[in-house]
């Protein structure tokens, strides 16, 4: 599903990733754990191919960075769902429209958009908030909208970048339970977090990263 093998990647300032290795199998739930600045977001950017290795390679689904063509990147990203700490919702659109937006940009058939969005709204527990704007929702509800938007294209892999970082403990637990539920349907999840308490006691793969290197 995801394989990163001996990858070195650098930013103009000199920092980056140094011989990173990790795998996430089909249907697996894995945590990428490390302090701020450790390279977690960079690893996720590798996976959705926003940055590329100087050496080593990564494989996502059936696409390999070594022979990837530029025109294949949009196809890859449609197979991924990505959730961010700051939600990245469209403030001028309601909950339904925010989730539907992910379908519009892939030119989905109009007759399918309503059906898919209503299904996802039910999955994330927001059917009753479909007409609300983001500023009318709690932080936990906004993250549920973001998860719904990431799910509506039926991704094979869900990437979560500090997805609970801005939430109170109760909302954090609700989001983790929702991700567990999503994973139980077969969607692989890689969740980056700096919070060691979040992964304590969980029977999941834990990949640790520090100073741009996986441990």
- Give yes or no for residue 171 having a pLDDT over 90: yes
Mean pLDDT along residues 67-80 = 90
pLDDT on residue 14? 65
pLDDT on residue 81? 95
CA distance 135 to 55: 44
Which three-class secondary structure state does DSSP give residue 17?
Answer: strand
pLDDT on residue 43? 95
What are 124's two structure tokens?
């994330």
pLDDT on residue 78? 87
pLDDT on residue 62? 87
Task: Give the ranges where the chain is alpha helix by DSSP (H).
Answer: 40-47, 73-78, 95-104, 110-123, 139-151, 169-184, 196-199
- Give yes or no for residue 198 having a pLDDT over 80: yes
Give yes or no for a contact between 185 and 127, defined as CB atoms under 8 angstroms apart.
Answer: no
Give yes or no for a contact between 1 and 34, defined as CB atoms under 8 angstroms apart.
Answer: no
Write out the DSSP string of 191-214: EEES-HHHHTT--SEEEEEETTEE
CA distance 128 to 29: 29
The whole-chain average pLDDT of the chain stands at 93
Q: Is the pLDDT higher at 13 or at 186?
A: 186
Select from 201, 146, 190 the least CA-distant residue to 28.
190
Mean pLDDT along residues 161-183 = 93
- Give yes or no for residue 75 having a pLDDT over 90: no
Reported as a single tens digit per residue, the pLDDT across 102-155 is 999 888 888 899 999 999 999 999 999 999 999 999 999 999 999 999 999 999
pLDDT on residue 126? 97
pLDDT on residue 160? 96
pLDDT on residue 15? 73
Select from 75, 70, 66, 125 the least CA-distant residue to 95.
125
């Amino acid at each position: 599903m995801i394989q990163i093998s001996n990858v070195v990647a650098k930013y103009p300032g000199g920092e980056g990733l140094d011989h990173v290795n990790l795998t996430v199998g089909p249907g697996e739930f894995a945590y990428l754990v490390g302090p701020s600045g450790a390279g977690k977001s960079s690893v996720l950017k590798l996976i959705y191919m926003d940055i590329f290795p100087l050496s080593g390679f990564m494989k996502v689904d059936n696409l390999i960075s070594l022979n990837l063509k530029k025109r294949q990147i949009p196809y890859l990203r449609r197979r991924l769902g990505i959730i961010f700490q700051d939600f990245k919702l469209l403030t001028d659109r309601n909950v339904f429209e925010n989730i539907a937006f992910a379908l519009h940009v892939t030119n989905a058939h109009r007759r399918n958009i309503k059906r898919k969005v209503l299904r996802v709204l039910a999955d994330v527990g927001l059917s009753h908030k479909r007409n609300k704007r983001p500023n009318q929702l709690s932080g936990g509800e906004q993250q549920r909208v973001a998860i719904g938007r990431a799910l509506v294209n039926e991704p094979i892999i869900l990437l979560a970048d500090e997805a609970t970082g801005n939430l109170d403990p109760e909302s954090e637990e609700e989001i983790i339970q929702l991700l567990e539920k999503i994973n139980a349907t077969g969607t692989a999840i890689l969740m980056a977090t700096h919070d060691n308490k979040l992964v304590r006691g969980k029977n999941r793969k834990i990949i640790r990263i520090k100073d741009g290197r996986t441990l």
